[in-house]
Structures are given as structure tokens and as C-alpha cells.
Amino acid sequence: AQSVTQPDIHITVSEGASLELRCNYSYGATPYLFWYVQSPGQGLQLLLKYFSGDTLVQGIKGFEAEFKRSQSSFNLRKPSVHWSDAAEYFCAVGANSARQLTFGSGTQLTVLP
Amino acid sequence: GAGVSQSPRYKVAKRGQDVALRCDPISGHVSLFWYQQALGQGPEFLTYFQNEAQLDKSGLPSDRFFAERPEGSVSTLKIQRTQQEDSAVYLCASSLGQGHEKLFFGSGTQLSVL
């Protein structure tokens, strides 16, 4: 069975600082990997996804993530955080043959002025 | 509409009542998913439709949960004889193709069972 671990429940960074959110997954084959963001009262929005190819993927809002097979990780990064990035971030894994995604428990990001 | 619409936004039910939650996906989207999100947790898969066919219902927690999409568009998630443990946000998502390449989520229905 596939699983996702987001080790950090809550992260606080200052505006303008760099950000890295951790995600580790467990899956037997090459996974489909996703990062979603959820703002209060809003639906989840896809930031980026990895299916194959280049292991460094670019997403919306200046985010990027790197797939590292050897570490079973797919960490999300942003070089300079904006106050509007405060939200909850979810990493998810999916399989090619299945239609369901398995989400991590999320990381809440607070941005200090 | 422009996005996935869910109604009601909030639902309070007494234990034992039946509830029905509605999802209007983006027009033309083939795939529709239901997820359950408990407080402080990530979404958990409930069920998946491709057009009107329910291809995966492995995530439905009990036979009290039932979902349908009779015309391949609007979907309804029904919970019979609600229990307190059913309290959660129920999320609907749709995608253009047959998979989960890019899901568009609604804002959810927050269900509170008293």
C-alpha cells in the first residue's frame, strides 16, 4: 500500500526567507507525486506534479519540487516566501493503475511579516 | 460553472439522520472523486466515477455511505444513519481525463453530526 509522510506539522518562516517542506512516500513502483495547497475556505489547488522525466519540477506561484528516488522524497521548495503563501500544504502519491490519491497529513505554513 | 461547486457548504445533522451532499463538477469533466477530510488530517479517498460508472468505491467506510452520478455529471454522496465519526469535510474533485493528473477540488461540505 502507498503512504505519504509529512514530518512537519507546522512551519513558520519570515517573509522573504526560503522554504522547504518535506515529503516522504512509500510505494513499490515509480509513483505519481503531487503537491497541493489549501487556503482556508478554499478547495485544494494543484501546485505541481511529477510523473516521469526531469526530477526537478516547476510549479505555479514560484514553487518547485525535486523527486529523489533514493530517498523516497519529494520536497517542496520556494526561494522567497510571500505572505500570501500562508496555507496548508499537502503532498500526495498516486499509482498509474489506480485512481485514488493518498495524501499526507499536511504542513501548516505561517509567514511572519 | 467555472469551478467545482459543492452544496451545502455546512450541514449539521443529528445522529441517526440521513444526509445528502451534492457536487457539481466542471462541465465536461469525465472523472469525479469524493474525499473525506477529518480535522487536522489530509483528504482520504472515498470513491471514483468515470462518467456515470462508479469504478472504485474501496474507500467508502461502511455500507451507510453511498454515492451516485446517474447522468455522468452531478454527483451525490449520501450518508445514512449518520454517526459522530462521520463528522468531517467532504471534498469533491473532478478531472478532465480518466485519471488524477490534475484534480480540481471544490471547497467542500463540512458535516457536523451531533
Mean pLDDT of the region B2-19 = 96
Q: How confident is the model at residue B100 (pLDDT cuts 50, 70, 90)?
A: low
Tell me the per-residue pLDDT of B20-64, one tens digit each, with 9 for 90 and over. 999 999 999 999 999 999 998 999 999 999 999 999 999 999 999
The span from the CA of B79 to the CA of B77, in Å, is 7
Q: Residue B54 has what pLDDT?
A: 96
- Per DSSP, what are the bridge partners of residue A10? A108
What pLDDT score was predicted for residue B27?
A: 94
CB A77 within 8 A of CB A84: no
Q: In chain B, what residues touch A44 (CB-CB under 8 Å)? A: 43, 91, 93, 103, 105
pLDDT per position in chain A (113 positions), as tens? 789 999 999 999 999 999 999 999 998 777 899 999 999 888 899 999 998 888 999 999 999 999 999 999 999 999 999 999 999 999 999 876 557 899 999 999 999 99
Q: In Å, how far is A55's CA from the nearest CA of chain B?
A: 17
Instruction: Report pLDDT digits (tens) over B71-97.
Output: 999 999 999 999 999 999 999 999 988
Closest residue, chain A, to B50 (C-alpha): A99
A99 to B103: CB separation less than 8 angstroms, yes or no: no
> What is the distance, to the nearest Å, from the Cα of residue B109 to the centroid of all Cα atoms in its chain?
8
Question: How many C-beta atoms surround the C-beta of residue B54 within 10 A?
Answer: 17
- Residue B49: closest C-alpha in chain A: A99
Q: Could A98 and B56 be called an inter-chain contact, meaning their C-beta atoms sit closer than 8 Å?
A: yes
| pLDDT of res. A31 | 86
